[in-house]
Amino acid sequence: MFDTFPLWPARASTTAGSVDALFIFLVTLSAMVSAAVFTMIVVFAVRYRRRRGVAAEQIEGSTALEVTWSVIPLFIFVVIFVWGAVIYFKERTPPRGATEVYVVAKQWMWKLQHEEGQREINELHVPVGRDVKMILTSQDVIHSFYVPAFRIKQDVLPGRYTTAWFHPTKAGIYHLFCAEYCGTQHSGMIGQVVVLEPAQYEAWLSGGGASGSMASNGQNMFQQLGCSTCHRFDTQGRGPNLVGLFGKPVQLEDGRVVTADENYIRESILTPGAKIVSGFKPIMPVFQGLVSEEQLNALVAYVKSLSQSPTGAAGGPTVVPSGAPPQEPKVQ
């Protein structure tokens, strides 16, 4: 029981350092304020304890003092707010070019899939020194992906994607916890993040187990499900051309403009009637119930790959079918 008794979590990501810095500042501040208040109370309790013949002095108040001890804390709070907000802003803005990992949570396990195709259960292998962005969804209830050593946590919701990212700085094995109560085995829904030195990571990657990159799996699905019938790579399709679509603004026929992000792609597949692209008819079949979360992830990965240059970020080569060269997507 006493062999490991840590009092501080491991620090294994770039975020961890910033979070710890603010935390230590707050601990110090709190200790100082508590000490000040406690000391004053003790000193007053002793110095002004009841003594025969010594009456209390009736003091109504002091507006100056009240204003001072309202404004000074408020100022300190503003500092803390800004500091925390800056860290949070960075945490919620995944850097471009990050390696992507798709995560599907379900009661009570984590299913992860690398862009290159490797699948893992309750374990995530990543290399030191590379940005990793996770695209998370749940098959059932709300879960939460929590790696204390990285100081990151993100709720994982059914019906949509959420994202989180980290940049590992130290090789090691770190806890992965589910941090949103999700039923019987909530406390059993744990795993580990294995951070490897880059060379070891490459070795692990090529160690087999992959059956094609996510994007190429997605491309196969795209053909199998008949998507390519309408979503051609020219302007003749009954559906919008998806090349170059990801990340761009899309004009809908009710006038709204939305960004084609992961959630947009997902919604377009599951409930196509929700957002009709301007100039197109609402004829796309509904795929809800016909594709699993993993298949959805593969399709999303494929659509994303249609917006990457052939020598672009890791994640599988862009596979553009032969025929007409990719054209500008039909957005207005």
Region 8-37 residues binding other proteins, contact defined as CB under 8 A: 8-9, 18-19, 22-23, 26, 29-30, 33-34, 37
- Under rule CB under 8 A, residue 172 binds other proteins: no
Rounded Cα–Cα distance for residues 206 and 193 (Å): 18
Tokens of 330: 């039909």
Write out the binding residues for other proteins, residues 86-125 only, by CB under 8 A.
86-89, 91-92, 107
Give the nearer residue to other proteins in terms of CB position, either 174 or 222.
Answer: 174
Tell me the window of 194-202, 227-235, 278-286, 308-316 that interacts with other proteins (CB under 8 A). Answer: 278-286
Q: Which of 17, 28, 66, 248 binds other proteins (CB under 8 A)?
A: 66
CA–centroid distance for 213 within its chain: 21
- Under rule CB under 8 A, residue 55 binds other proteins: yes
Backbone angles phi, psi at 125, to 5 degrees: -95, 130
Which one, of 121, 115, 150, lies nearest residue 135 by Cα? 115
Which x/- pattern over 35-54 shows residues binding other proteins (rule: CB under 8 A)? --xx-xx--xx--xxxx--x
Going 32 to 35 to 38 to 43, the CA torsion angle's sign is negative
Give the nearer residue to other proteins in terms of CB position, either 210 or 270.
Answer: 270
Write out the binding residues for other proteins, residues 293-312 only, by CB under 8 A.
none
Tokens of 87: 């860290």
Q: Which residues of 305-314 are buried (b: 16+ CB within 10 A; e: fewer)?
A: bbbbeeeeee
Q: Which of 171, 276, 313, 320 binds other proteins (CB under 8 A)?
A: 276
Q: Which of 159, 279, 312, 321 binds other proteins (CB under 8 A)?
A: 159
Which x/- pattern over 193-232 shows residues binding other proteins (rule: CB under 8 A)? ----------------------------------------
Q: Which of 110, 146, 222, 246 binds other proteins (CB under 8 A)?
A: 146
Rounded Cα–Cα distance for residues 121 and 112 (Å): 6
The length of the chain in residues reads 332
Coil/strand/helix, residue 305: helix
Rounded Cα–Cα distance for residues 13 and 128 (Å): 9
